[in-house]
Homo-oligomer: A and B are copies of this chain.
Amino acid sequence: MFDLVLQGPAMLSDGRHDACWIGVQEGKIAAIGQGDAPDAAEVHIVTEGIILPGVVDGQTHACSYGGLPGIESTTRSAVAGGVTTLVDMPYDNPDPLNTKARLDEKIATINAVAYADMALYATVAPGQDNSEIAPLIEGGVVAFKISTFESNPTRFPRIQTPQILSIFETLAPTNIPLGVHNEDQEMVHAFMAAAKKAGQNGLVAHSESRPASAEMSATAQFLELGAAAHAHAHIVHLTTARGFQLVDNYAFDGYRATGELCVHYLWFDPEIDGEELGAKMKVNPPIRPGEIDALWEEILAGRVALISSDHSSWPIDNKLTPSIFDAGAGIPGMETLLPCFYTAAEQRGLDAAALTAEMLSERPARFFGLFPQKGAIRIGADADFAILKHQPQIWDSANAHDDLNWSPFDGRVFSVTVDRTYVRGQLAWDGKNICNQPGSGTFVPRGNGHWFEDEETPS
């Protein structure tokens, strides 16, 4: 007898099944079958929706504003949005995650307050030597991240090129990627200074002061440094098709290079939404006008490694500044990630369920070494599920669970609703209420899988 059986249409790891059951035992998927559902302590039958693997959000900033306590609200929002695992960024307030001691502290907080499972990025501070890298990997971090632009001297500093190379050299013998926030600081500073001097302060000024050229300048340099060290270089957000094509050139030349897309680059266009949203759609790098079609081509060509939320827990006050340049960059996006991507794919006539399972679950899980524990509905995997129903909804952040009460998606129509979320077999969201507790989520260390499976593996 199983602890739980789900029954209905599902996107399994080997494709869609229209009528199957999934048996859960001790938090794992113990069996998958068709026909009559076996006995279980709890049976849930999906009649008009579809069972998807729980979403693995590859890029979250849970603690940028409120520090470690931000984990609680962010993961609560996650399960309400069908996200069962978050990969959290290291730029915590007040101090980033750059030592084993801070990793232990963050893990402890996760295990105490999280509603969803969490994997963790780490970073290296300016001038810090690489001695903490091995303990951090040993401690289970899935990736490292640095920035070529200083957002904050302590929390989110710029790392100079010699140190980037040094980190790459340390990571080269491993499967651990080094991700980058990719903007050229000299360019952005110069353009921002010029804009301010000219008295500009709107969203257009923000975009123009961080042009695609600044993004690509940092991207090209970072990719080449990764290539020089034969390490895995990962661009955590590319906003143009050209970016993914450049990454692909490196992959074609035999280097380990990948690029990631965030869902808002597929949804908003400053020329359409800019006037309404203003600073509410300020993200870095900025959303480019007229790029959405080209980005979809990159996804369908297989050049986008994964799609993530880049969720940031900024309060709205942080956006309501006289000048755009004083507004915080980043937007809440955890709870909208799944319905937003699904809706966008469906509107293009694509197989939205299959693409969602691939781009939001299996690929991020594989990318961060969490597969096969996470990322797909298959025997032996964690029983993480997001059950969608085809019931359209108008997004209203007042009903969201991130304690932020604002969203650039307010008023947008999504074609689906998250009906249920299970984390390791436990009901976390029933379509109306959060059903699990702080501490139901847990820290997930990196496993043995890795992205460049076909390549000769570094030892």
Which residues in A have some Cβ–Cβ distance to B below 8 Å? 12-15, 17, 20-21, 23, 25, 28, 30-35, 38, 160-163, 165, 184, 186-187, 189-191, 211-214, 216-221, 223-225, 227-229, 242, 245-246, 249, 253, 372, 376, 378-380
Contacts and interface: CB of A to CB of B under 8 A. Distances in A.
A32 B34 CA distance: 9
Given A13-B14, A31-B32, 17 more contacts: A17-B379, A20-B379, A20-B380, A21-B31, A23-B33, A28-B34, A30-B33, A30-B34, A31-B38, A33-B379, A160-B186, A160-B190, A184-B221, A212-B228, A213-B228, A227-B242, A249-B249
B217 A246 contact: no
A225 B253 CA distance: 21
Nearest to A218: B221
A35, A214, A227 — most chain B CB neighbours (10 Å): A35
A324 B107 CA distance: 50
Contact of A165 (B23, B30, B187, B379): B187
28 contacts: A12-B379, A13-B14, A14-B14, A14-B376, A17-B380, A23-B33, A28-B34, A30-B34, A31-B31, A31-B33, A31-B34, A32-B32, A32-B33, A32-B379, A33-B379, A34-B379, A161-B217, A162-B186, A162-B191, A165-B213, A184-B221, A212-B228, A213-B225, A213-B228, A216-B224, A220-B224, A221-B221, A221-B224
A114 to B, nearest CB: 27
A235 to B, nearest CB: 13
Contacts of A12: 14, 379
Contacts of A372: 15
Contact of A220 (B187, B223, B242): B223
A427 B33 CA distance: 21
Nearest to A28: B34
Copies in the complex: 4
A190 B219 CA distance: 21
A165 B211 CA distance: 11
A17, A227, A379 — most chain B CB neighbours (10 Å): A379
Given A13-B14, A30-B35, A34-B31, A187 B161 contact: yes
Contact of A213 (B160, B217, B229, B378): B229
Contact of A34 (B163, B376, B380): B380
A187 B216 contact: no
A90 to B, nearest CB: 22
Nearest to A221: B221
A227, A228, A372, A378 — most chain B CB neighbours (10 Å): A228
A163 B189 CA distance: 12
A165 B376 CA distance: 45
B228 A224 contact: no
Contacts of A212: 228
A211 B217 CA distance: 20
A162 B218 CA distance: 12
A333 B376 CA distance: 39
A383 to B, nearest CB: 12
A224 B253 contact: no
A378 B161 contact: no
